[in-house]
Structures are given as C-alpha cells and as structure tokens.
Structure 1
Amino acid sequence: MENAGSGGGARLRARGGGFSFSGGLVALGRSLALWGLSFVAALLSLAVSVVVLLLGTGLGLVLVAPVVRAVRGLADRQRALAYRWSDVRIPVSYLPEPAPGERGFLARLRWIVRDPQTWRDWLWLAIDPIVGATLAIGPAALLLGGCWAIGLGFYGVPLSQEWEGLRYLFIPVRDQTTATLAALLGVLQLPAALWLAPRSVRLHARYTRAVLAPSEKAQMASRIERLTATRAEAADTQSAEIRRIERDLHDGAQARLVAMGMTLGAAEHLLERDPAAVRDLLVEARESSSKALEELRDLVRGIHPPILADRGLGDAVRSLAMICPLDAQVDIDLPGRPEAPVESAAYFAVSEVLTNAAKHSGADRVRIEIGHDLGLLRMEITDDGRGGADPGRGSGLRGIERRLAPFDGVLTVTSPPGGPTRVTMRIPCTLSTSWTITSSGAG
C-alpha cells in the first residue's frame, strides 16, 4: 500500500535561482520534518535488527509482518512527501497480497521475502538515518550556526576568555573585531539557509526516489506478475457480474414480461364476453410493463449509468454525492475523459467507497477529490469516521482492488484507529482533450 496526499496547493515550486522568504521558511520546516522522519527510520531500523536477531527463537517470525507493515508505512510517507513537496513521483511495485485462501503465516512470510520492493525498503531504512538525515538537517544546521555566530558578536569576547580561545569556522574570536566578523558571517548564513532549504528538500526527494524506486526492468516484471495474478480474479469478477445480470433479468424483468403476456392472453379470450374484465387486465398489464421497464432501467444503470455515458465521470460522481447520506464535498478537476472502461471502473469504485463509508465508518462528512496528473487518474475519498478500515479484512475494499486490477490501478487505504479514513485510488490512463470538468461543491 501506499499513501499520498493531494497537497497540490502546498507544493513548493521554487525553481532555478528564485528565492522566496516565505517559501524558504516553509521549506525549512519541511527539512526539519524530514530529519524527524530519519530519526524515526533509525528507531525502526533498530527494531528490524532486533527482529532479525530473534528469528531463531520463533518470536522474530511472529514480529516480521508487523515490522514490515511499519517499514512500508514509513516508506509510503516518504513517497507521499516527495510528491507533495517536490513533485517527485516515486513508483511502487509491491507484489499482490496472497489470495484469501492462502493467507496463512508461511504464505505471508514467503510473500514478504519474495518481494523485491520490501528489500528496497529495508535498504532505504538502513541508509536513511545517515544520508537522509544529513541532507535534511543541512539548512537547519546553517541557520543555527548563523544564530550562534550572531550571538558571538555580543558575547564572543568574554566566552573566548572564559574558554581560553574560541573559533567560529575559520575566524578565531579574540577581540570585538573578530567577534563582529563572526557575527557578520552568521548574518549571511541566515538567507543562505532559507535559500538552501527548498533545494535540500528537492535533493532529499531525488535521493529517496533513487533508493526506493524500482528499475524499469523491475517495474515491468512486477507489472507482469501483478497482471498475471489479477487476471484470474478479473475473469471471475466478470463471470459473477454476468451471472448477476442473468439472474436479475430472469427473476425480474423476464418474469414480469411473462406475466404480462399471460395477462394479455387472458384479455384476448375475454374481449367479447366481458369487456369490463378486459379493462382491468389491460390496467394490470400496463402496470407490469411499467415495473418491467423500471427494473430494466435499474439494471442498465447498474451496468453503466446513463449520466456516466452522457456527461462523464465528474458529473456522475457528483450525482453519487447528492444521494450519499453523508455530507459530501466534491472537488473535481479533469481536463478530459478517460476511456469508457476506465471511467466505468472509477465510477463504481468511488460508489463502493462511499457505500462503505456510509455503512461502516460512522462518519458525518466525506470529501471526494478527483484529478489527473502525470498520466494517473487519481481519486481520493476522505471521511471523518472512526477509522480502522483494513482491505485484508473486508470484502468491499478487496472488491475495489479487483475492479481496479485489470487497469493496473492501485488502491491505498490509510485508516488509523479513531480516523480519519483516506482511500486513494490511482489508475494509469490518458484523457481525451475534448471534455473538461472542473467542479467543486457540496453534495
């Protein structure tokens, strides 16, 4: 799983030699956040070392899966920040989880050990406390050093006398003149730190991509393996959908049409003998035809809603928001329309997520964001419910994964206990350029 926030408006877009004071302050805070995550990586790396040492006792085997989930969560966080803050997209290619019938302990362990992306995560975890922390802490160190140098301009001489000598970089602080020189150097470091901060954040993102991103060959092999694993599930899903349509036709519209035919036959026999009874039978036949037509419309709507075909994904999702029992906020920015199969899969995936949120989350509000960027259709649905959603424990989210799998789509679920729950779906696709949807509002 992966996690990526939208944060489009919050991305730092400083390029080249441009400088922004406010942008530098924001980037400085981000570099400190990255340094904090490197510290978390160091602690988690220590935990991995302990688990490896305990493998021989059996306890380590039990702890492998939780530790792997924690490492993946931290790596996903770094991928998300690299995209939000630096527009650096880091592809991810985890192998699909074992099928529901193969989710024993050994099956999960084999799945973890065989996954090349897991080993890349562990390599990143081992070096990030050193490389990542060094890249992230540079601007802050420059800023703190500048503040220290400015302080030396006021207190450097007595400190030098008390400590029997004091230097700041290449300047020995002996008297007020050298202390003032150190302070001037410190003043120059302050804007230098703000200038360096955004570049440090971008460099950190590129380093993270270099370590975590699979090679093109590995991406292709992972994609082939993923599509092979999901092809059978897609075929089963399609067969189940066809059987559902057949069942609905047989039990619904077909039964009503047969009954209507029998009613018309009876009316034909009574036409000359009892015209009043014929009138009642014709009313009954008309009602049956109306119900059959309604059921056929519902069935067609379940296969491909007319609003989706006529007006596209954006308006179709807005119609879902309008009938959603939760207070729904919609933000859609699509410069075109996906291909019809992708559009249909995206629509029903959003519909299923909203249904799950209304039934199981205990939420009052939900936000739907849909956009297209860098060849990916991205749908993010966030609710303020109780959290705790897990694709491995529910058929609904697993069904969404199966729906997205034929298009190489990825489902990401972030749902800590207590909420909020954020479901992100990404489908690689291109958009037609003859249709533009930009809408925002409450359902």
Structure 2
Amino acid sequence: MNTDTKSDGVRAHVREVVLAAVRGLVLALAMLPVAVLCFTLTLVSVALIPLGLGIVTTPAVLGGVREFADTRRRLAAEWCGIPIRSSYRPLPEGANPWTRTVLMLGDPATWRDMRWLLADMTAGFVTALLPAVLLFYPFEGFAVAAGLWRVVSADGHPYWYGFVPVSDQPTALGAAATAAVLLFAAYHLAPRLLTAHFRLTRAVLGGDQGELVERVRVLTETRRDAVDTSAAELRRIERDLHDGAQARLVAMGMDLGTIEMLVERDPARAKQLLAQARRNSAEALEELRDLVRGIHPPVLAERGLGDAVRALALRLPLPTEVAVELPGRADAPVESAAYFAVSEVLTNAVKHSGADRIWADLHHTDGMLRITVTDDGKGGAAVGAGSGLAGVERRLGTFDGVLAVSSPAGGPTMVTMEIPCALS
C-alpha cells in the first residue's frame, strides 16, 4: 500500500514536471513575440503623439498591453496559484482619445506594464524556457550517447552537446551523464522555475503600490455602501416610528384630552376611552420593542451570535438545523453584520427557494468567521443588482468579508459568508 502511494506520488510529480515544461515553452515561444510587439508599438505610438497620430493609436495600444498583462495575471493564478492584482485607474465612459491618452499615460500601472514587458523579454523569457530545456534537452544527450554523434561528426569535427565535445564513445557517455544530470534537475526544479517566472511577474507587474490602490478602491466602495446602508436604515427607523409608535402615542394623547373633558360629564365614556388609551400604549410599547429588536436583537447582545441565529431559526416556518462552533465572541459590529446577513439569507431561502429544509453552520477557524447556509430548494440564486444577496455582500464588505453562492438549477443552494475577525 505504501509502495503504491509512493508510485502514485511519483507519477503525479512527473505529470507536474511535464506540464510545467510545456507551459513554460508556450510562455517563452508564443508570448515573447507578443511582448516584443507590445513594447515596440507602445514606443512608436507614444513617439507619434506630437504629430497627432499617437493620440488616436495610444489608447488602443495601451489597451492591448493591459489585456496582455491581464492574461498573464490570469495564467499566474490558474497555473501556479499566484494572484496578481490588476490596479488600473478607471477611465471615464465616452472620453475622447486625448483624455484617454492623458489618463492612461498618467496611470503608474501603465509604466509598470512597460517595465514588465522589458523583464518578460529578458529574465522572464529565461525562467519560462528553462523548464522545457531541462526536460527536453537531455533526450538529445541520450541520442548522442546511442551513437548519433558518429553521423553528425563524420567530417572529423567533434559534436558538441552542451559543453561536452563528443568524438568517441567515452565522451558520448559523458554526454549521457550530462543529460541525466539535466533530467534530474528538471524533475526537481521545473515546477519551481515556472513558479519563479510568475513570482518575477508579480514582483514587476503587481507591486505593493498596486495592491494599495486596489485596497483603497475596495475600502472606498465599502465605505460608500456602508454610508448608504446606514442612511437607508435610519430612514426605515424614522418611517417605522412615524407610522407606528408615534401615531399611536398621538392617538393616545388625543384620547387623554377627550377623557379629561368627559370624566365628569360622561364617566362611562371616559372609562371606555381610558381602556382604549391603555391598549394604544401597550401596542406602542410592543412596536417600540420590535423596532429596537430589529436594530440590535437583545439575544444577540446578551448571548452572542450562535444563540441569536438559533433563536432566528426557531421563528422560521421551515425546519432549520443550526450547528455552532464558536469558542468566543466577535466584536459587536461584526456580530451584528453577521446576524443580519444570516437573517437575510434565511429569509431568501424561505421566500424563494421552495426548500423543505435548511441547514446553517457557524464556526471560526484561522482567524475567519465562516457561516454556511444550505437549503434543498430549486436553486438558481445569484448575486446581482436588486438581489437581497447583493445587500448581504455589501454588508460583509464593510468588514472585508466575502460572499460565495453555489446554486445550480435544481439545487441545492449553498451560501458561504466569511468575515476576518478574532474572538474574545
């Protein structure tokens, strides 16, 4: 059993080596001409700006460079799991060529792309090609060792394999030994060299500044969303107070004024109005309690997120199982955001999924609060404009949280929410 496992591991690694060599060869041979073309066209287009022609061509050329760079970013993530952020400044829609040219040339990411093209044509080309050289070049050495040198050196001149001059059988064996060393190096280094290529790409194309720009953009969007959400929540509270408790309190005040006038002339009518005022006060108090509970449920403040979600599940019309593994409590804003996010997801599941059962799981691992809500409904849920899930995504984004939805047609639907936080 152990031998079979080792054999499977060796075969998997060999496949990884071959895949790294083929991918590196594609990068070196197919994308090098594209890099040279992009760099040359950019220089020519920028040089033609004083003549006016470059104003028209530069946005298109730089747009092509950005697409080429984004392709490399995508390959880095797919092939080696190395994320490289794209941090270009947004361009206004409908801008004229002159404005687009000025904005694109003023974007630091444009000049970072140019530096990357230079690096990709030199050191990047070498690191991409090396895996293929280490894997495929040894086969020539083995062919030389098998006697091919006798044909290619028939004129009396030695056949050079790397740094080994092959002119007889002993030197041919030396070529074979060199090939074996290269093949051994390929087995151990080919995937690492491809990873080194993409790390070089990230070092030049990504950069801390790019990540900082992306971070600022995300924070700006989440802050705007948070402000919009807070304003909408304040309007809801104001509307609920105006239409509910305030109206009942006004009616109660009017009843008390009427009672004051009737208490001596018509005591029976005054008693009826007193009973009505008491009912109005009780209803107003209940509405105020519901309003406060909607702002911050008491069970959430007193017993934490786990018990609050359990209490929420008990009020649902569908059977709901809740599993909680939280060794402590998060900060109050995080708990509140998570609670209302779960509430929205559960409400959507009840209203739209057609499910018979719902499962909710809450746990905290590796500094991340993870919440998963699953239903056995018809599926088809998606995050989009006007969707309740879009609001959940904005709510989580305020705390650097993320939302993932898996909802194929026919179900089931799984909504996963993650918020980075520490528990007390």
TM-score by length of 2: 0.56
CA drift at 1:287: 7.3
Give the equivalent residue in structure 2 for 1:196: 189
AA matched with 1:125: L
C-alpha spacing 1:41/1:154, structure 2 compared with 1 (3 Å): closer
Give the equivalent residue in structure 2 for 1:311: 305
Distance 1:369 1:140 in 2: 47
Give the equivalent residue in structure 2 for 1:74: 71
1:214 aligns with 2:204: no
Residues 95 and 111 in structure 1, CA contact (< 8 A), matched pair in contact too: no
CA drift at 1:404: 4.2
CA drift at 1:145: 0.9
Secondary structure at the counterpart of residue 214 of structure 1: helix
Give the equivalent residue in structure 1 for 2:60: 63
Pick which of 129-138 and 347-356 moved more. 347-356
Give the equivalent residue in structure 1 for 2:110: 118
Give the equivalent residue in structure 1 for 2:146: 154
C-alpha spacing 1:114/1:252, structure 2 compared with 1 (3 Å): farther
Residues 256 and 277 in structure 2, CA contact (< 8 A), matched pair in contact too: no
Gaps of 5+ in 2: 1-8, 317-323, 349-360, 373-378, 405-415
Residues 146 and 187 in structure 1, CA contact (< 8 A), matched pair in contact too: yes
**Two-structure CA RMSD over aligned residues (Å):** 6.3
Distance 1:76 1:376 in 2: 27
Cα distance per residue 1:56-83 (max 9 Å; x no partner) = 2654256367436524523532663697
Give the equivalent residue in structure 2 for 1:132: 124
Cα distance per residue 1:19-72 (max 9 Å; x no partner) = 977446425524643553564475266356546638626542563674365245
Number of corresponding residues: 367
Residues 157 and 174 in structure 1, CA contact (< 8 A), matched pair in contact too: yes
CA drift at 1:138: 0.9
Residue in structure 1 matching 2:241, options 243, 250, 265: 250
Secondary structure at the counterpart of residue 244 of structure 1: helix
Distance 2:283 2:231 in 1: 31
Residues 173 and 179 in structure 1, CA contact (< 8 A), matched pair in contact too: yes
Residues 32 and 136 in structure 1, CA contact (< 8 A), matched pair in contact too: no
Residues 267 and 278 in structure 1, CA contact (< 8 A), matched pair in contact too: no
C-alpha spacing 1:71/1:292, structure 2 compared with 1 (3 Å): farther
CA drift at 1:240: 2.3
Distance 1:133 1:354 in 2: 52
Cα distance per residue 1:240-296 (max 9 Å; x no partner) = 245434444335543575488479969989995699999999889877866665555
CA drift at 1:238: 6.2
Residue in structure 2 matching 1:182, options 169, 175, 178: 175
Distance 1:113 1:399 in 2: 37
Secondary structure at the counterpart of residue 94 of structure 1: coil
Distance 1:135 1:239 in 2: 51
Residues 72 and 121 in structure 1, CA contact (< 8 A), matched pair in contact too: yes
Residues 325 and 364 in structure 2, CA contact (< 8 A), matched pair in contact too: yes
AA matched with 1:43: V
Residues 134 and 190 in structure 2, CA contact (< 8 A), matched pair in contact too: no
Distance 1:288 1:186 in 2: 88
TM-score by length of 1: 0.54
Secondary structure at the counterpart of residue 167 of structure 1: strand
Residue in structure 2 matching 1:26, options 5, 12, 16: 16
C-alpha spacing 1:242/1:207, structure 2 compared with 1 (3 Å): same
Gaps of 5+ in 1: 1-18, 324-331, 357-367, 414-423, 435-443
Give the equivalent residue in structure 2 for 1:36: 26
Structure index of larger Rg: 2
CA drift at 1:376: 9.3
Distance 1:290 1:398 in 2: 28
Distance 1:412 1:110 in 2: 37
C-alpha spacing 1:342/1:271, structure 2 compared with 1 (3 Å): same
Cα distance per residue 1:344-399 (max 9 Å; x no partner) = 6688789999999xxxxxxxxxxx999987x999999xxx9899x999xx9x9799
C-alpha spacing 1:175/1:227, structure 2 compared with 1 (3 Å): closer
C-alpha spacing 1:402/1:291, structure 2 compared with 1 (3 Å): closer
CA drift at 1:159: 3.6
AA matched with 2:108: P
C-alpha spacing 1:48/1:171, structure 2 compared with 1 (3 Å): closer
Distance 2:299 2:65 in 1: 41
Distance 1:113 1:411 in 2: 33
Secondary structure at the counterpart of residue 81 of structure 2: helix
Distance 2:101 2:370 in 1: 31
CA drift at 1:212: 2.7
Distance 1:370 1:64 in 2: 49
C-alpha spacing 1:105/1:128, structure 2 compared with 1 (3 Å): same
Residues 152 and 182 in structure 1, CA contact (< 8 A), matched pair in contact too: yes
Distance 1:159 1:79 in 2: 43
Correspondences of 1:216-365 after superposition (within 5 Å): 218=209, 222=213, 233=224, 236-237=227-228, 240-241=231-232, 243-251=234-242, 253-254=244-245, 257-258=248-249, 261=252, 272=268, 293-294=289-290, 296-300=292-296, 306=300, 310-311=304-305, 339-341=331-333
Distance 2:180 2:235 in 1: 73
Secondary structure at the counterpart of residue 160 of structure 2: strand
Residues 379 and 425 in structure 1, CA contact (< 8 A), matched pair in contact too: yes
Secondary structure at the counterpart of residue 422 of structure 2: coil
CA drift at 1:124: 1.1
Residues 411 and 425 in structure 1, CA contact (< 8 A), matched pair in contact too: yes
C-alpha spacing 1:35/1:66, structure 2 compared with 1 (3 Å): same
AA matched with 1:113: L
AA matched with 1:148: E
